[in-house]
Chains A and B, each alone.
Chain A
Amino acid sequence: MIHTIKRPDGCNLLLEIDDFTNPWGDAPWLFMIHGFAESRQAWRAWVPHFARDFKVLRLDLRGFGESTAMTEDFPWSMEVIMKDIEAVVRAVCKTPVHLVGAKSGGTFALEFAARFPELVNTVVGVTPPVIAAQGVEDWINSIKADGVLAWARSTMTGRLGSRVSDKEVAWWVNDVQGRTSEPSLLGYLSWIPGLDIRQSLPKIHVPSLVITTTGSGLRSVESVRVWHATIPGSKLHVIEGDAWHAAGAYPDLCSHIVRDFLAPRLNITA
């Protein structure tokens, strides 16, 4: 089921709900936030793992997917993204959610859990950058020079790992990242180098899990351990793999890890 939520600035946020829970029940919400230059489509393989026990909500962040594209000069900020997520939780879910985010969507999920503990039951960040990755300038130059498609193609093997098939790369390039509006991308990239949520991490008091990979070209496991240790009581799961986008490259494995994390807190099997 597709819904749209109109924000005060005119932006339409699109979200999709997959719900195969008992219709008379009060199933919990699993709220999924995709990463940079993606859309709710990035989560498609996750849905069957959760939709019998959770009402699964996949949001297209503003600027991405089928939500309204942003102009290049749009003043991106953590504040505006937090308010979008808050609006969707309050309007659609109406109860605290289990939040899962991938890549920068994981960063937003962690930040949201720190700011809105009353709206979050648990939070999972899959390969989240808590500090912006190096090389954003190169990405901006690449997109400006050669366009979104070429940029997506040139970065995809690092994102999805060395074992990814050509067909899989083609889908992510042509049907997900390559479809993102260029002004949205460029505006977002001009904001993202300042991203740093390390101050927020100690304020996360809901149960949390971070998933990272051993062979990410963007960050080492040790660098993740340093900031992860500042989240009270948080769990860390390290996957053997060389993708920096574990949620996209290893969706079934990640889904099992997240179910294992959530199962003791809910009346579901792992």
Chain B
Amino acid sequence: MPFVQVSPHIEVFYDKSDFLDPWGDKPILILQHGNGRSGAFWYRWLPRLSEHFVVIRPDMRGVGRSSKVDDANTDISIEHCVTDLVAIINAESQRAVYFCGESMGGILGIVLASQFPKLIQKLILVATPVFISEAMKVRYSMGHGSRLDAMKKMGIRQWVLETSVLTRFPPDCDPALLNWYVDEFAKGVPEILVRYSELVNSANASVFLPQIGCATLAIMPTQGQITDAEQEHLLSTQVKDITIEHIDSTYHMIHLTHHDDCIDRVLKFLKAN
């Protein structure tokens, strides 16, 4: 299983699924998870996309199978996560790759595509906020002083369960999916999960949007609680070549609840010239 050594004490893991004909073309698609999740959360996307692409699923530093970090505050930053992706792309490809990120994974994609334009051929943003709105910060605080306070006081598992019911998964979703999501998320080291939440809370990718040179597709929930109309307006006015499509949902985890619909759109976008 592949790792890249990104610092003397940090190895970043990525899963690589390659079922393509070895004698044919092998385009690479990177699927980047969002805040607190891991590459494992993309499992529903794999079989269909791996018929067409070598699919690489990185685990951000500190989560999943990547090494834990000594000091979350200094070792985890947007810049570090982006340079980790650059290391993975350089290890796996001699040419530009396709990149798809969900939620915070899309923010990394925005920064990557704007700062390393030669590495990204096409960019896909799934339920990706440009920044976290004040209203959302209040919702994720769950009655505590802040999101970070809530995570610390409620415990990670309870916080992720309650916020998932509120914002990520619709009431009619398979309860087994919700339970698995919560259990999988709660496997993370609390200090690292809190640090990532802090990062995403303070992130603002607006400044990078005009520098994205590649074709971009954004797939958004129709009435997303994290990706609101203001953010979509920013994307549509600031990114040169962007298509915004919608999936009928008011919940954030469309890549898990509407995976086939998302995949249809991703394939159409990536297969178009």
Contacts and interface: CB of A to CB of B under 8 A. Distances in A.
Interface of A: 18, 20-25, 44-45, 47-52, 165, 167-168, 170-171, 175
Nearest to B184: A23
Contact of A175 (B22, B48, B180): B22
Contacts of A48: 19, 46-48, 50-51
Given A20-B46, A23-B43, A52-B47, A167 B179 contact: no
Contact of A171 (B22, B47, B48, B51): B22
Contacts of B43: 20-21, 23
Nearest to A19: B43
B21 A168 contact: yes
A52 B44 contact: yes
B47 A51 contact: yes
Interface of B: 17-24, 40, 43-44, 46-48, 50-51, 176-177, 179-180, 184
| A-B interface, 9 closest residue pairs, ranked by CB to CB distance from nearest | A167-B23, A52-B47, A20-B46, A48-B51, A171-B23, A48-B47, A20-B43, A24-B176, A47-B19
Contacts, number: 54
Contacts of A170: 23
Nearest to B45: A20
Given A20-B43, A20-B47, A165 B23 contact: yes
Given A22-B177, A23-B180, A24-B176, A51 B22 contact: no
Contacts of B24: 167
Contacts of B44: 20, 52
Nearest to A166: B23
B185 to A, nearest CB: 13
Contacts of B48: 48, 52
A170 B24 CA distance: 12
Q: Which of B18, B20, B47, B176 has the most CB of A within 10 A?
A: B47
Contacts of B51: 48-49
A45 B21 CA distance: 7
B127 to A, nearest CB: 21
Given A20-B43, A20-B46, A45 B19 contact: yes
25 contacts: A18-B17, A20-B47, A22-B176, A23-B40, A24-B177, A24-B179, A24-B180, A44-B22, A45-B19, A45-B20, A45-B21, A47-B19, A47-B47, A48-B47, A48-B48, A51-B47, A52-B44, A52-B47, A52-B48, A165-B23, A167-B24, A168-B21, A170-B23, A171-B23, A175-B22
A121 to B, nearest CB: 21
A65 to B, nearest CB: 15
Nearest to B17: A18
B141 to A, nearest CB: 30
A52 B184 CA distance: 19
| Most A CB within 10 A of own CB, among B19, B40, B46, B48 | B19
Nearest to B52: A48
A5 to B, nearest CB: 19
Contacts of A45: 19-21
A168 B20 CA distance: 12
Contacts of B19: 18, 44-45, 47-48
Contacts of A18: 17, 19
A168 B50 CA distance: 19
A51 B177 CA distance: 18
B16 to A, nearest CB: 12
Given A48-B51, A51-B46, A167-B24, 5 more contacts: A20-B43, A20-B44, A22-B176, A24-B180, A47-B47
A227 B184 CA distance: 51
B168 to A, nearest CB: 17
A51 to B, nearest CB: 5
Contacts of A49: 47, 51
Contacts of A50: 47
A185 to B, nearest CB: 21
Contacts of A168: 21, 23
A48 B48 CA distance: 6
A21 B40 CA distance: 11
Contacts of B179: 24
A21 B176 CA distance: 13
Nearest to A25: B176
Contacts of B46: 20, 48, 51-52
A184 to B, nearest CB: 22
A177 to B, nearest CB: 13
A48 B177 CA distance: 22
Contacts of A175: 22
A88 to B, nearest CB: 21
